Amino acid sequence: MIFIAEIGLNHNGNHDLAGELIKQAKYSGADIAKFQLGWRDKEGEINNLDENTILKLKKWSDYYEIELMFSIFHEEALELSKCIDHQRYKIASRTVIDNPELVKKILGEGKETFLSLGMWENEELPFSEFDNVKYLWCKSEYPSLPWNLKNFPKDFTESGLSGLSDHSMGIEVPLMAIMRGAKVIEKHFTLDKSDTTIRDHALSINPDEFRNLVYLGRNIHKNLSIGI
């Protein structure tokens, strides 16, 4: 199982808070702390991450022994991400639709790449010519409400999906995904769900909830083979 703490923009533009989020993600059992690179990133915007900031994030993640990963939103962000050594990429649902050439360029580097399918409407999986792509089922709705999850996979393995990029409230949907074969769970992570700086805080889970998700999820995954 891989658990990704999607920090995203939940640092509110405060890079010291970003370091605390990395630390708490590690203490909560996450394997990966993920940020967004290239989204709301202009001068003065909340997610303006320059090379010095990325190097600082990398120092924090190395110190706390957690993998650092970025969602890449444009070519400049891709080049900026190369200022550090990292083993994987993430591609957001909107990038799959809006910039397929960027997706191909990222996949062409050969690194394992998680790709969200929240806006993909075709039956066949995109970019299947690449063997380093890992597909994450996703509902591009913030938050994703239970009654709108009608096409939630019954079997992730049979569907060719590696896991779930989740926007629902709580941990029930990710646990259901694990019971149905998901091996990767990406979940928005915050220290304060009541923070109104950006809407992502409300659909995120806090360290205690993330810790519970990891504990239950790993045990469910370990015991899936029990029975006839």
pLDDT of residue 228: 65
Cα-Cα-Cα-Cα torsion 111, 154, 28, 30, nearest 10 degrees, comes to -10
The predicted pLDDT at position 220 comes to 97
Q: Which residues of the chain have pLDDT under 50?
A: none
pLDDT of residue 227: 79
Cα–Cα distance measured from residue 59 to residue 208, given in angstroms and rounded to the nearest whole number: 25
> For residue 218, what are its two tokens?
């790993």
Per DSSP, what are the bridge partners of residue 116?
Answer: 136
Nearest Cα residue to 223 out of 179, 193, 171: 179
Q: How many CB atoms within 10 Å of residue 101?
A: 8
Contact 21/11 with Cβ under 8 angstroms?
yes
pLDDT in tens, 80-130: 999 999 999 999 999 999 999 999 999 999 999 999 999 998 989 999 999
C-alpha to C-alpha distance for 78 and 17, rounded to whole angstroms: 24
Please report the pLDDT score of residue 111 as a whole number.
98
pLDDT value of position 176: 97
pLDDT, position 40 = 95
How much is the pLDDT for 148?
A: 85
